[in-house]
A and B are shown apart, each in its own frame.
Chain A
Amino acid sequence: MLMKSKHKLSRRGWLKRSLAMAIVAGAVALTAPAQANDTIKIGFSMALTGGLAGAGKGALIAMQVWAEDTNAAGGLLGKQVELVYYDDQTNPANVPGIYTKLLDVDDVDFVVSGYGTNLIAPAMPIVMQRGLVFPSLFGLAVNEKFNYPNYFQIMPAGPEPLTDWSKGFYSVAMAQDPPPKTIALVGADAEFAKNAVKGARIQAEELGLEIVYDESYHPKTPDFTPIVNAIQARNPDMVFVGSYPPDSVGMVKAATEVGLKTKIFGGGMVGLQFASIMTALGPKLNGIVNYDFWVPEPTLKFEGVEAFLAKYQKAAEGQGVDPLGYYLQPYAYAYLQVLGQAITATNSADHAVIGEYIRNNSFDTVVGNVSFAPNGEWAKTRVLMVQYQGIEDNELATFTKAGTRVVLYPEEWKSGTVNYPYAE
């Protein structure tokens, strides 16, 4: 056909053009920012959009506070610190590219992880290949498979993250008289919640508790009333929940509406630590026993944490992030503190030397004294079990006061006593 030959010509032209376009675009990507050797660059990916962006943005602000603090104090190895970061869009597929860009194009001196297990794991092969020190932020049992000696995880889950997570929940419950006999386990069908429930299941079996309900739900479940009803029908003494922010809210609402009767309720509910959700739920939180990482109780006023929070809260204004910054933010500051202290102490930029130092020393940070187990987790768990107590309104200020989230566990940091049972 006549026209077809014309097509052929132009098609060939397009192919050339599209190739040319790809090459040009690639070249743009290659163009590195101006190289400067008078700074120490720390690179990372962070979830600034997508599902984990709330946490990611908060972490980023905390990390920027650390950089300012460090630079004000003279930097590291006599050089100013510069943070180089990219948005991973909460998509793990973006992570490998970002870390190679950081290392090969931006020539960063150090890398630290982004936020969350899914976004930490994809970077592991790259940092392992190059033998880099890799401080990580809130990954759950990432190193179980990789067994990488230079991996250091700042979340205080402890050397056995699966079970250490809910240890406090059982410890508080089993100390009661009479101790509970039955437990219901419920969790979202997603990475963290599954692990949290798994750990809770292992311990329930070890303690000889009868598991009367053990189900997971789809993370997008809109109404939790049927689930709470089904749990209530089994009358468990304990209810352990592994959930994410929206379903934590749904679960708490449904529990108050149904009038869930159990002796202890909570455990691994992510989101109840966030200012926006605490103010939304207000008094409905009373009695819930849930994990936490930092709360403004007198036992947890570590050196520098209040100064940090003041700076963070100022920087966070109008950024659409958590205005209090208790949960994750001090740890985002601390994992850089660990790296910075190790660099200063060894006076070296050699990853092997620094890794060796971190493995063998402890660090005073805004989240307290940190030392790492051989698998890179905290040497000793410090997942707090706190109970919401005496909350009467939905004001933000309420949650800045001591006594609203009383630390029950670990014993070392205990700041009050448990109200038991949850509801009868």
Chain B
Amino acid sequence: MFSVELLVNALIAGVLLGGFYAAVSLGLTVSFGQLNIVNIAHPAFIILGSYIAYMCNSLWGLDPILTGIIFIPVFFLIGAGAYRLYYESFERKDDEALRGLAFFFGVMFIIEVALIMVYGVDFRTVQASYIGQSWKAGGIGVPTRMFVPFCVAIAMFTAVYLYMSRTFNGRAIKAVAQDRLALQLMGADPVKIKQLGFGISIGTAALAGALLIIIIPVEPSVGRLYIGQVFAIAVLAGLGSIPGTLVAGLILGIAESLVSTFFGPSWAPAVAFGILLAALAFRPQGLFGR
């Protein structure tokens, strides 16, 4: 079964999904790729963002994307605080590889259980005018439920990319894992810089979470399902590369969509992870890696 129309639809769906994947992975690219902090709890923070969007939407009818933007500073502070704890407990003692990883594993569980205790395990969704619409031209359709998050994702990427490449602090974040000494010589405190970077990383989770709940219904443990995906993208991207993350997200999205359309959806996730395993085995530095 093949038609040009189906192919175009599959590509559109893949691109839109890929943009969302990339948005979800952006925070990890910063924390894992640039700061060398393996935050396995990142998807849990995203789910936290989803629930905040849900809460504001169901209580006051607030738009989920607006909520996401409003909560970026709050998440930033949470992230900065979490890094402080992480630094004092693990990084300073050069002990992040094993125990730091276990720490985030525990944090993931705690966030998840806390959400269950407050909201229960029911699936939650949000209401917004752009959910359920779509633009059609001939047999080609673009669902706004996917298109709006895609645009927000691109905007978020642009903002983070500009910050990282145009400002002193942004460049310092990119440099901090490579050359602490040079940073110190330039008068920047590496710990403060990493705190800033991790804050940004968690900050993106607020918005990514809002995008997530626009696209799918969310329950507290749904974040686990995305651990693999976000790490896959971060690695495929070449750690720390922000444009690479976008490209890797799109590749994964398109691959899943094509496989799902033409070969049967049950193989979609395996193909995506196949790409990851292949990337790890043959090009561990990733697409945009150094």
Q: Does B1 contact A (CB under 8 A)?
A: yes
Name B's interface SS. Answer: helix
In the complex the two chains form, is B264's CB within 8 Å of A215's CB? Answer: yes
Which residues 124-144 of A sit at the B interface, judged by CB distance below 8 A? none
In the complex the two chains form, is A257's CB within 8 Å of B6's CB? Answer: no
Which A residues touch B16, using CB under 8 A? 223, 225
Which residues 200-231 of B sit at the A interface, judged by CB distance below 8 A? 215-217, 219, 221-222, 225
In the complex the two chains form, is B216's CB within 8 Å of A222's CB? Answer: yes
Which B residues touch A263, using CB under 8 A? none
Which one of A64-72, A145-153, A273-281, A401-409 contacts B?
A273-281
Q: Does B13 contact A (CB under 8 A)?
A: yes
In the complex the two chains form, is A217's CB within 8 Å of B132's CB? Answer: no
Question: A249 vs B217: C-alpha distance in the bound complex, in angstroms?
Answer: 7
Q: Which residue of A lies closest to B119 (CB)?
A: A320
Question: A409 vs B144: C-alpha distance in the bound complex, in angstroms?
Answer: 36
Given A256-B132, A276-B123, A320-B119, the answer on whether A229 and B219 have CB atoms closer than 8 Å is no
Interface residues on A, range: 35 or more
Which B residues touch A50, using CB under 8 A? 121, 221
In the complex the two chains form, is B122's CB within 8 Å of A276's CB? Answer: yes
In the complex the two chains form, is A49's CB within 8 Å of B121's CB? Answer: yes
Which residues 55-74 of A sit at the B interface, judged by CB distance below 8 A? 57
In the complex the two chains form, is A284's CB within 8 Å of B132's CB? Answer: yes
Which B residues touch A216, using CB under 8 A? 264-266
Question: A124 vs B267: C-alpha distance in the bound complex, in angstroms?
Answer: 33
- Expressed in whole angstroms, the minimum distance between the Cβ of A214 and any Cβ of chain B is 9
- Expressed in whole angstroms, the minimum distance between the Cβ of B130 and any Cβ of chain A is 11
In the complex the two chains form, is A218's CB within 8 Å of B266's CB? Answer: yes
Q: Does A296 contact B (CB under 8 A)?
A: no
Of B13, B136, B215, the residue contacting A259 (CB under 8 A) is: B136
In the complex the two chains form, is B269's CB within 8 Å of A220's CB? Answer: yes
Q: Which residue of B lies closest to A217 (CB)?
A: B265
Interface string of A206-249 (1 = CB under 8 A from B): 00000000011110111101110110011000000000011001
Which residues 126-142 of B sit at the A interface, judged by CB distance below 8 A? 127, 131-134, 136, 141
Which residues 300-319 of A sit at the B interface, judged by CB distance below 8 A? 319
Q: Does B242 contact A (CB under 8 A)?
A: no
Question: A227 vs B258: C-alpha distance in the bound complex, in angstroms?
Answer: 10
Which B residues touch A277, using CB under 8 A? 123, 125, 217
Of B134, B143, B266, the residue contacting A189 (CB under 8 A) is: B266
Question: A221 vs B257: C-alpha distance in the bound complex, in angstroms?
Answer: 10
Question: A321 vs B134: C-alpha distance in the bound complex, in angstroms?
Answer: 32
Which A residues touch B9, using CB under 8 A? 225-226, 229
Which A residues touch B217, using CB under 8 A? 245-246, 249-250, 277, 280
Question: A288 vs B134: C-alpha distance in the bound complex, in angstroms?
Answer: 20
Q: Which residue of B lies closest to A258 (CB)?
A: B141
Size of the B side of the interface (Cβ < 8 Å), in residues, is 48
Of B120, B122, B260, the residue contacting A226 (CB under 8 A) is: B260
Residue of B5, B123, B134, B144 with most partner-chain A CB within 10 A:
B123
In the complex the two chains form, is A320's CB within 8 Å of B120's CB? Answer: yes
Of A57, A220, A233, A253, the residue contacting B145 (CB under 8 A) is: A253
Which B residues touch A234, using CB under 8 A? 1
Which B residues touch A51, using CB under 8 A? 121, 221
Interface string of A363-378 (1 = CB under 8 A from B): 0000000000000000
Q: Which residue of B lies closest to A276 (CB)?
A: B122
In the complex the two chains form, is A229's CB within 8 Å of B13's CB? Answer: yes
Question: A39 vs B225: C-alpha distance in the bound complex, in angstroms?
Answer: 45
Q: Does B280 contact A (CB under 8 A)?
A: no
Question: A250 vs B213: C-alpha distance in the bound complex, in angstroms?
Answer: 11
In the complex the two chains form, is A257's CB within 8 Å of B120's CB? Answer: no
Q: Does A122 contact B (CB under 8 A)?
A: no
In the complex the two chains form, is B120's CB within 8 Å of A220's CB? Answer: no
Question: A205 vs B28: C-alpha distance in the bound complex, in angstroms?
Answer: 49
In the complex the two chains form, is A227's CB within 8 Å of B260's CB? Answer: yes
Q: Does A204 contact B (CB under 8 A)?
A: no
In the complex the two chains form, is A245's CB within 8 Å of B123's CB? Answer: yes
Q: Which residue of A lies closest to B253 (CB)?
A: A223
Question: A31 vs B216: C-alpha distance in the bound complex, in angstroms?
Answer: 45
Q: Which residue of A lies closest to B272 (CB)?
A: A218
Of A49, A227, A246, the residue contacting B216 (CB under 8 A) is: A246
Which A residues touch B6, using CB under 8 A? 229-230, 233
In the complex the two chains form, is B17's CB within 8 Å of A230's CB? Answer: no
Given A218-B269, A284-B132, the answer on whether A54 and B121 have CB atoms closer than 8 Å is yes
Question: A220 vs B221: C-alpha distance in the bound complex, in angstroms?
Answer: 12
Which A residues touch B219, using CB under 8 A? 246
Question: A321 vs B123: C-alpha distance in the bound complex, in angstroms?
Answer: 11
Interface string of B1-21 (1 = CB under 8 A from A): 101011001100110110010
Binding site for A on B (CB under 8 A): 1, 3, 5-6, 9-10, 13-14, 16-17, 20, 116, 119-125, 127, 131-134, 136, 141, 143-146, 215-217, 219, 221-222, 225, 256-258, 260-262, 264-266, 268-269
Inter-chain pairs besides A51-B121, A225-B257, A229-B261, 19 sampled, C-beta below 8 Å: A50-B221, A51-B221, A53-B116, A53-B121, A54-B120, A223-B17, A226-B261, A233-B1, A233-B5, A234-B1, A246-B217, A249-B217, A253-B143, A257-B134, A258-B134, A258-B141, A259-B136, A276-B122, A280-B127
Q: Can you pick out 23 interface pairs between chain A and chain B where the beta carbons lie within 8 Å of each other?
A: A49-B121, A50-B121, A50-B221, A51-B121, A54-B122, A57-B120, A217-B260, A218-B265, A220-B225, A222-B215, A223-B215, A226-B9, A227-B265, A229-B261, A249-B123, A250-B217, A257-B132, A257-B141, A257-B145, A276-B124, A320-B119, A322-B122, A394-B127
The 8 closest A-B pairs by CB, nearest first: A320-B120, A217-B265, A257-B143, A280-B125, A257-B134, A53-B121, A225-B13, A226-B260
Binding site for B on A (CB under 8 A): 49-51, 53-54, 57, 186, 189, 215-218, 220-223, 225-227, 229-230, 233-234, 245-246, 249-250, 253-254, 256-259, 271, 274, 276-277, 280, 284, 319-322, 394
